A and B are shown apart, each in its own frame.
Chain A
Amino acid sequence: MIGQKAKRMLFLISVTALLMGLIVSNAVAQQPPPPESGAEAEVKWFDPEHTNVLVVVVLYSAIVIFCIYYARRREMYIRPIAGLEAVNDAIGRATEMGRPILYVSGLSGISDIATITSMLILGHLAKRTAAYETPLIVPCNDPLVMTAEREIVHQAYTEAGKPDAYEPDNIYFITDSQFGYTAAVDGIMVREKPAAIFFMGYFYAEALILAETGNMTGAIQIAGTDADTQLPFFITACDYTLMGEELYAASAYLSRNPLLLAQLKGQDMGKVLLGAAIIIGVTLATVCTFVAPDIIEMFLSWFKV
């Protein structure tokens, strides 16, 4: 169990690293002068060309902070998401059949947003499988993801009051090779015969191979990815599919944590603003074709990166 002090320390490390990342990304974005010019690269803390990025980040952060403040006073509603409603059914099915649950968290590294979301979902899933003592198998293709997932599952089992049921050997590294990993996971599916299979995270060309094999074994399959090129394959081969944003919403949906719900509300408000900006932009672009083309050029130039 992580203590408050350790949590604070991890938070401090993450925030420091996040600020470092923001500063470094801004420095990387600034193009150095060509070597033939003889000019020395000037290091700037802020690139005025990226003011639009700063405005969007600040605006979005303000919306999320407002939503967190708002969430303390009122309960927030989230519309039903079919794929997430089915998570409990999948766990129940596996428990009744006495078979394990297979959880595949994609092929991306620990830095990918889809992988981070996938790990959050795994935490909620593990809490429920711990309660029913249903085996949870998590084959990984990244050693860092494996380490983090072991921590998350261990934490979930401890919180569920079943620390002894936690099996660290069920969360293991296979290989970082895309198709080597796929061949191994296919083998696990047909040998372990899981009752439920979860594909949550970022997937590449292996998506259809994995989902088809899982389909052949008769397991209930729930997939979630923000890889738009792989979504069609999951939609055709899985029982439920979380598309893009639905994957990001999953963690808030499953946990009903007010902080996460507030973030989701903030994202929704961001989408409303995006939609409004697009409608204004399209209207201006259409009207200004007739009257003043300069105005639309000025407006659009703000969105250029």
Chain B
Amino acid sequence: MPAAAATSSTIFGLSTEIIGIWVAALLTLAIYSFLYADNPVYKVAEHIFVGISAAYGAVILYYQALLPKLVKPLIIPLIDRVWHPELADATSPRYTLLVPMFLGLLIFSRFVPKYDWLSRWPIAFVMGLYAGLSIPRSVQEIILKQMHGTMLPLLPRGANGGYDFLTGFSNLLLVMGVICTLAYFYFSARHEGLLGRVSRVGVWFLMVAFGAGFGNTVMARISLLIGRVQFLLYDWLPTIGIHLGGPGMG
């Protein structure tokens, strides 16, 4: 800590790094206080979180989208052309960007009740465009690639030229799982008789997959919790003179 403190700036004699740790630790505890019940401390943390993230999102949107994609290629060259025509090397504005800019501005027509219907145009455009973009991608990724991966031999040959029964069994399970799960998602017939039995097997396959996914994700979440607890124990506690050892800044 001393080396870090020496390099960081200070406010009221406290290193900004220490202040940062305290803010993070208090906000962490405030958010975790929700586990007991909703309380004023949680409300404060929640409102800080929402306010800061909304503002941060707006700034990011400006710097990562508006500035490089609209302001720099269109607005600034346009202003230069109108107000500073003497600048011979001024880049020419990309007038094609006027179309998306106009569509974007139409969203704000909601604030004028007489013309609020215009705000539907950009929404219709965005939905249509993304549907068009996603159709070929979905066909490739969700249908063709999955089908290609499922068409496996049930009696494959191993590296030594003999039959690999274990891989064959694994392939059979995979193919059965896919067919039975597809049957479960068949909506236009009653799930009775053969279809009912096959779809029930499909549900078992789904539940086994979900169980594995649940366990895997819970492990990842526990590791996130461990990270937060480690921060409190090994980064925050040392700032109030309690040293537990182990990982962290101290």
Contacts and interface: CB of A to CB of B under 8 A. Distances in A.
Contacts, number: 238
A229 B132 contact: no
B146 to A, nearest CB: 9
A232 B148 contact: no
B212 to A, nearest CB: 9
B6 interface: no
Contact of A246 (B134, B185, B190): B185
A285 to B, nearest CB: 4
A174 B131 contact: no
A285 B167 CA distance: 14
B211 interface: yes
B148 A303 contact: yes
B129 A21 contact: yes
Interface stretch (A85-93, A99-107, A181-189): A181-189
Nearest to B133: A21
B124 A14 contact: yes
A191 B155 CA distance: 60
Given A10-B124, A231-B210, 12 more contacts: A14-B124, A21-B129, A50-B136, A81-B187, A147-B110, A177-B54, A186-B34, A191-B38, A245-B185, A274-B182, A289-B156, A305-B148
24 contacts: A6-B120, A9-B121, A20-B128, A20-B129, A21-B128, A22-B136, A29-B136, A53-B136, A53-B144, A78-B187, A79-B188, A109-B130, A111-B130, A147-B119, A148-B127, A177-B53, A229-B213, A236-B214, A249-B187, A281-B150, A281-B151, A282-B175, A286-B155, A303-B148
Interface of A: 2, 6, 9-10, 13-26, 29, 50, 52-53, 56-57, 76-79, 81, 109-113, 116, 144, 147-148, 151, 174-177, 179-181, 183-184, 186-187, 190-191, 205, 208, 228-229, 231-233, 235-236, 243-246, 249, 264-265, 267-268, 271-272, 274-275, 277-279, 281-282, 284-286, 288-289, 296, 299-300, 303-305
